[in-house]
Structures are given as structure tokens and as C-alpha cells.
Amino acid sequence: MEVFSQVCPFFVSVLEADEWRYPLHRHTHYELIYILHGAGTHHLNGQHYPYQADDLFLCSPRDAHRFDIAQSTRFCIIKLNLSFLLAANDTFALVQPLLEADAAPAPFAFDAATRAYLRSQVEFCMREFEQRQFLYANTIHASVLSILVLLARVRRQQQAYPSQLAASADNLVPAIIHYLHAHLREPAALAVEVVAAHFHLSPSYIGQYFRRHTGQTLKTFIQKSRIRAIQLQLEFSDKTVSQLAFEYGYTDESHLTKAFRAQLAETPSQYRAHRRPSQPVETSDKGK
């Protein structure tokens, strides 16, 4: 599978096409993909999502996707490296669960007023990037963060009203996954009894249900998701392994190192060194 990379912190492009010419691919960056007009199907991680004008998709470096175009489509694609987002620490904390999720809702569901606002923000980013006036990078940064905060709020609302999402397995499983991703740093909130109570189910039922529909136990899914989130931090932040262990609820650095190596066959600092060659392996890695 092809992997497309980007060096600059952000890039805004507009693509108009009658036929999608790229194969199934991943990126090394994040992409906000806004449909200015047109219709077709977005193939994302093995799922198929019909799209139309004003739909918005968020793709992470873990996502594999492509489009099938049914009606001539104009895409606005905002490409973002994590360094661009980390420039606003306070706001980044609000959208980090969204970026760390396995898959964001695709497409997101908005009311008419929010759709109009999002379209105005996307068109503003397009103009700013094309004209490149003084401080254009700052204005695009503010607009992109505004969009991401809205997406994070939509996700949070989905988690806050599970009864509305639980009408079918197609909705309940994503709702559970969204809840788990939002609480990766809160071990108490991930206890099966707490998760079950949030969705008004019994602990035994939710465990069996989740495994039946995902092929994984809740415990395994949480462990893998937490390690994936830590991988992202190791690649794009300067937090130490000890800090990450504390942040994600591990007993200590040794506990995190053992869990990390069990999944990836290398320690956290080795993982960081392989992907950031300028970073030496931390000699403090425990649990070897």
C-alpha cells in the first residue's frame, strides 16, 4: 500500500475530479477532507461511506482510504502534521482524543447551522492559503483548530447520549469505542463495570457483546488503543517514557515498557529512536 508523506506543517489543496486517480493509501499526516460539491463513496478502513456536498472526513496516519466518484467532485483537503496542532497546547488537549481514535465518525453529522459555519471556515482556509497574506499561517491555524474542536464536541455528544446510539449494533459498537478512546487516560473510567453502567448494560453482557461484534475483548481493545496513543506521543511529542506512563495510567515506567514491548517487540524509547533518528535511546527504559 502506498504511503503519502508531507514535510511542511500544513498544506491546503483543492482537487476537482471526475475520477479518483489515487490507489488505496495512507498518509504520514492528518487530513481534513471537505466535500465542496459532488457525490460518491469514501472507502475508509474497509468501510464504505456515501458522501455528498458539505460532508467532512478526518483521516489519521492509521487510516487507509480512497474515493469512488459518482458525480464530479470538488474536494478541499487540509493536510496537517502534528507539530502544527501542538503549537496550541491548551486547545490540542481538547482535540487529542479525536486524533488518537482508531476511526472518527465518517462522515460527521452536523445540523444546518454548524454545516454553514464549517463551510465558511474551510473556504476561509482556502482563500488564506491561496493569497498568503501577512500572518496567513496563524489565521489558518486558528480556523483548523476551530473545526477540530467542533468535531471533538460532536464526538463527545455522541458519547453523552448513548441511548440514542444504541438502537443497533452498527451504532452501539462505535459509541462504546468512542467512549473508550475518550477515557484512555482515566483507568477508573475504563473498568468494565463503569463502561457497562454508562451504557445501561450489565458488565457480563457488554463484554460478550463487544467481543462478538469486534473480535476483541474490552481489555485487549483498551490495551491496544492505549499503546497506539502512546506511539503517537513518542513520535510527535518530547514527553518522557515516565511522563507517558503516568499520563496513561500505568503503575510506572517499567509497567508501560513491558506492555509496549509485548505488543511491538521493542521498548518505547527504541520505538522513538527508530522514527526520530536524532533522538537517542533513553537509558532509563525499565522492564527490559
Give domain status of residue 147, yes or no: yes
- Nearest CA to 286 out of 249, 251, 258 is that of 258
Tell me the pLDDT band of 87, cut-offs 50, 70 and 90.
low
Q: What is the CATH number of the domain that holds 240?
A: 1.10.10.60
Q: Which of 153-157, 160-164, 246-250, 254-258 has the lowest mean pLDDT?
A: 160-164
Domain span at residue 48? 2-158
Q: Of the residues 109, 138, 158, which one is the last residue of a structural domain? A: 158
Give domain status of residue 285, yes or no: no
Q: Distance (Å, rounded) from C-alpha 286 to C-alpha 261?
A: 11
Q: Distance (Å, rounded) from C-alpha 183 to C-alpha 3?
A: 30
Give domain status of residue 267, yes or no: yes
Give domain status of residue 284, yes or no: no
Do residue 150 and residue 8 come from a single domain?
A: yes
Give domain status of residue 288, yes or no: no
Name which residue leads in pLDDT, 16 or 287: 16
Q: Give 62's contacts (C-beta < 8 A, 6+ positions apart).
A: 26, 102, 228
pLDDT digits (tens, 9 = 90+) for 24-38: 998 888 899 999 999
Long-range contacts, stretch 182-187, CB < 8 angstroms, 24+ apart: 182/97, 182/155, 182/156, 184/97, 184/100, 184/222, 184/225, 184/226, 184/229, 184/248, 185/247, 185/248, 185/249, 186/249, 187/249
Q: What is the CATH number of the domain that holds 21?
A: 2.60.120.280
- Nearest CA to 287 out of 245, 262, 253 is that of 253
pLDDT above 90 as % of the chain? 37
Give domain status of residue 281, yes or no: no
Give domain status of residue 280, yes or no: no
Give domain status of residue 51, yes or no: yes
Do residue 136 and residue 147 come from a single domain?
A: yes
How many structural domains compose the chain?
Answer: 3
